[in-house]
Structure 1
Amino acid sequence: MADRASALRLDRRGFLRTVGVAGTAVAAGGATAACSSGLQGSDGGDGDGGGDTIRIGYVSPSTGPLAAFGEADDFVIGSIQEHFSQNPIQVGGQSYAVEVLKRDSQSDSNRAADVAADLIQNNGIHLMLVSSTPDTSNPVSDQCEAQGMPCIATVTPWQPWFFGRGGQEGSKFQWTFNFFWGLEDVEAVYADMWDEVPTNKKAGALWPNDPDGLAWGDPTTGFAPAQAQRGYSIVDPGNYPNGTQDFSAQITQFKNEGAEILLGVPIPPDFTTFWRQAAQQGYQPKLATVAKALLFPSSVEALGPLGVNLGTEVWWSPSHPFTSSLTGQTAAQLAEAYTAATQKQWTQPIGFAHALFEVAAKAFGSVQAIDDKAGLASAISTMKLDTVVGSLDWTSGPVPNVAKTPVVGGQWRTGTDFAFDLTIVSNKQAPNIPVAGEVQPLGAPVAR
């Protein structure tokens, strides 16, 4: 277990420097810390807020290579604040307005830590919400843990969030919580998809040198041991730096070792680079299941015809049979509202961004005062809540302060209203989520 924690741990010295000089960092960058979306509370003011307003910090990547994760945040926050304006949160018998202070991590861990420190120290927030990959969720969670601020994270697999922050079996964090699936879940989903296409059972792996890549590629606790039990072997060229422009070495090794499956967790621009170079160099696996980079319509559209039948995990979609505990919207209605408001295709983080506020509202409704931080943390630690992303239960593990959500498998197919549709093709791990097609090999005739 020590090896796992060591492999996943972020730069702790860098984090401690951030905590130690948080005031200086914010003083130097406070003006740029404000979000320019025009949402209430995003003006970077002093944030005393008065005693009749619940102030919630929200950090996610709106710019940089992970910006697709935060694409729907303005819509979700705007909708949530409209809901709360009509339905104030009740705390201790009193109604409270809600103000959301959104900050952009810029897809940078140091920036994420800085804006989190600013929100905690200078903006008077009562609760922190954070979303989208360990690059943002981990440093924000670390700031909150160090400064006694309740924090709810999501869209970050629990292993890199827990072990990547130094968590160990038998221990727990005091202030920070997460809800999402784990590597064991996506390993099973991918293997279920692989089983549907005849291959030599060799999977070439694209593991970046970041918290996700280190977790997924860990030789002891990552994909390799789990997939070996299903009869698959991993061709692992080693971790590469984000922003790599030449993947010839990886492509050559995949070709030489006959990797008929492609696997990985690259950032979107890196996969675009890799996949175009793979086509140019004559590498076409029979199946590709790629996390992170293939979650979003924009990433697949950038590939044109090369995007057909690329596979990924699906953690939220309009066909998920869940309903918001706040607004009563089904997953389908929430996706439809996003498209109607933005003219854009639904994207997976919509549901999880919305669910963050479901959890926040439930937590505040469980305490007697909005500044009862210990009470908020206690409420989250024992919470069971049905949300638009499924049933959350923080009492069931797999480790303290983590609630798991379901995940299924999908492939991108030629679309109708949009260029591509993400079609659910494998639901063995969550049979209550319906499939809409079958797994198809790459290069097969397009089937919806």
Structure 2
Amino acid sequence: MSEPSRNGVTRREFLKIAGVAGAAVGATGGLGGLLAACGEEKPTSTTAGTVSTTATTSGPTTSVSAGPEAGEQIKLGFVTPLTGPLASFGVPDKYCVDRWKEYIGDGIVGGDGKKHPVSIEVQDSQSDVSRAAQVAGDLINNAKVDLLMVASTPDTVTPVVEQAEAAGVPIVSTDCPWQTYLGQNKEYKWSYHVFFGGEDWITELWACYEQLSTNKKVGAMFDNTADGLFFSAEVPKFMQARGYTVVDPGRFQPGTEDFTKEISTFKKEGVELITGNMIPPDFTNFWKGAAQQGLQVKGCMIGKALLFPDSVDALGPIANGLLKELWWHRTFPFKSSLTGETCAQLADDFEARTGLQQTAPLLHYVVGEMAIYAIKNATDPKNKESLLAAIEKMKVDTIVGTIDFTAPLVTPTGSGPVDYPAGPGHKTKNVYDHGLGGAQWLMQGGKWTFDEVPVDNTAAPYMDKASLQPIKPLPIATS
């Protein structure tokens, strides 16, 4: 007969009860803890997050799945222009952060096998270079972030990358042409970047203009920013080598309201094409002034300003037919590495949640993919060198296509900064170029005032060529 316990339950009866209730026992105490309380010692073994407890008596065996061991919190920082003249770039960023947080949930299992809670702190650069550097410093020194993310033009990306490099903090970035991202640096230690380069943008400009019948005279509108200075040096060389004449009245300061001088020069020289680099408010002033002063051109492709639906919406019918670079679009054949969503599904979800039209900077979603990849693949996600090692070996299919920092470097075609083959590839140690297409804003009577219609894939071979529409010359009459 079994020995009765002091509360009238035999050990055998207790084991029967425990066998039924074992699944409800917490992993920290476990069945072994209950048995030990009854005076019977239990050997335990733990493997890969599962606590297995086996009784030495003839009673039942109970396994309790505890899940991964809890790891330390990992802190991510994200710098973006939510206010100021670059705020259009930051429009989708709240959505991106929300989607990252939804995926993260209560934590991510890192390369160390532990489940780490992950927080994301967002800082607004206010579209100011000094402010971008300041908030990056705050994230590094006060918030003690483990990894930084940044997006949106050299005015945001460059100062944040420089802070991360100086402090020895891993950083992933996008939305800054890769030559201006590198600046005078041949390479970085802590920073890795995904975006197109000058060779892609200039190639798309030329390819789009080749579709139009013109006198090949191009008016240049490049501002006095890092992007403007870079492209004002490279575009004329590229276009002149292909039979175009570039009329350049010189740099102008962002925030300029009156472009009468430039418009008068273009009219005098008979330009039929316009290119340049402008922030949205500046282009609005320029294009309205051009219409009022009778400047007639057949094509216009401007970097930055024409990326956004709200920019062309603000111009109304005179924006019909403007050209733009196409960094990212709902028709691209890629999927999220986090959720498996296609580009079309991500664009639809953004529009459903925000009530806003899909915008190119939804591409910023990729820095979250990169950061999460680093956590999952770092052998110690709380160690910055370990995070860096994971980024250096990154090979992952994302919402912007494949990112492969292990791929061989693309061979340059010359010694100049844009002397690279246009299109995707591992351009430098720290840069993976995702390529670039061309599109035209057209009023087609659909849900949105303007549709972003793909028109060229010269630097984006992954775009479906059969779906491209021929470019329509300006001006385009509206009904």
| Aligned residue in 2 for 1:428 | 458
Q: Secondary structure at the match of 2:330?
A: coil
**Out of 469, 472, 476, which is 1:437 matched to?**
469
**Out of 350, 362, 369, which is 1:338 matched to?**
350
Q: Which amino acid aligns with 2:353?
A: A
Q: 1:89 to 1:203 in 2, by over 3 A?
A: farther
Q: Secondary structure at the match of 1:144?
A: helix
**Out of 258, 261, 264, which is 2:270 matched to?**
258
The question of whether the paired residues in 2 share the 8 Å contact of 1:126 and 1:371 is answered with: yes
**Out of 245, 254, 277, which is 2:289 matched to?**
277
Partner Cα separation in structure 2 for residue 443 and residue 259 of structure 1:
14
| Aligned residue in 2 for 1:357 | 368
| Aligned residue in 2 for 1:167 | 185
**Out of 197, 203, 208, which is 1:188 matched to?**
203
Q: Which amino acid aligns with 2:431?
A: V
Q: Which amino acid aligns with 2:397?
A: D
CA deviation after TM superposition for structure 1 residue 445, in Å: 4.8
CA deviation after TM superposition for structure 1 residue 358, in Å: 1.0
Q: 1:182 to 1:356 in 2, by over 3 A?
A: same
The question of whether the paired residues in 1 share the 8 Å contact of 2:110 and 2:380 is answered with: no
Partner Cα separation in structure 1 for residue 240 and residue 387 of structure 2:
42
> After the TM superposition, which residues 204-283 of structure 1 pair with which residues of structure 2 at under 5 Å, given as runs?
204-218=219-233, 222-283=234-295
Partner Cα separation in structure 1 for residue 164 and residue 217 of structure 2:
42
Q: Which amino acid aligns with 2:462?
A: N
CA deviation after TM superposition for structure 1 residue 432, in Å: 2.4
Partner Cα separation in structure 1 for residue 109 and residue 228 of structure 2:
39
Partner Cα separation in structure 1 for residue 246 and residue 75 of structure 2:
46
CA RMSD between the two structures: 1.5
| Aligned residue in 2 for 1:387 | 398
The question of whether the paired residues in 2 share the 8 Å contact of 1:390 and 1:406 is answered with: no
| Aligned residue in 2 for 1:27 | none
1:295 matched to 2:307: yes
Query: How does the TM-score come out when normalised to structure 2?
Result: 0.79
The question of whether the paired residues in 1 share the 8 Å contact of 2:197 and 2:433 is answered with: yes
Task: Kindly provide the CA deviation profile for residues 101-144 of structure 1, in whole angstroms up to 9, marking residues without a partner as x.
Answer: 00100100000000000000000111000000000000000000
CA deviation after TM superposition for structure 1 residue 394, in Å: 2.4
* Greater shift in the superposed pair: 432-441 or 277-286: 432-441
Q: Secondary structure at the match of 1:91?
A: coil
Partner Cα separation in structure 1 for residue 448 and residue 149 of structure 2:
31
Q: Secondary structure at the match of 1:177?
A: strand
Task: Kindly provide the CA deviation profile for residues 206-242 of structure 1, in whole angstroms up to 9, marking residues without a partner as x.
Answer: 1100111011112xxx111111222212111111000
Partner Cα separation in structure 1 for residue 161 and residue 227 of structure 2:
16
Query: How does the TM-score come out when normalised to structure 1?
Result: 0.84
Q: Secondary structure at the match of 1:273?
A: helix
Q: Which amino acid aligns with 2:165?
A: E
Partner Cα separation in structure 1 for residue 106 and residue 143 of structure 2:
24
CA deviation after TM superposition for structure 1 residue 175, in Å: 0.8
Partner Cα separation in structure 1 for residue 336 and residue 196 of structure 2:
19
Q: Which amino acid aligns with 2:334?
A: F
Structure 2 gap ranges (5+): 1-69, 410-425
The question of whether the paired residues in 2 share the 8 Å contact of 1:425 and 1:437 is answered with: yes
Partner Cα separation in structure 2 for residue 427 and residue 445 of structure 1:
26
Q: Secondary structure at the match of 1:359?
A: helix
Structure 1 gap ranges (5+): 1-49
CA deviation after TM superposition for structure 1 residue 89, in Å: 3.7
The question of whether the paired residues in 2 share the 8 Å contact of 1:59 and 1:130 is answered with: yes
Q: Secondary structure at the match of 1:361?
A: helix
Q: Which has the larger radius of gyration?
A: 2
Q: Secondary structure at the match of 2:117?
A: strand
Partner Cα separation in structure 1 for residue 117 and residue 318 of structure 2:
48
| Aligned residue in 1 for 2:339 | 327
Q: How many residues align?
A: 389
CA deviation after TM superposition for structure 1 residue 87, in Å: 6.4
CA deviation after TM superposition for structure 1 residue 398, in Å: 1.9
**Out of 313, 318, 322, which is 1:306 matched to?**
318
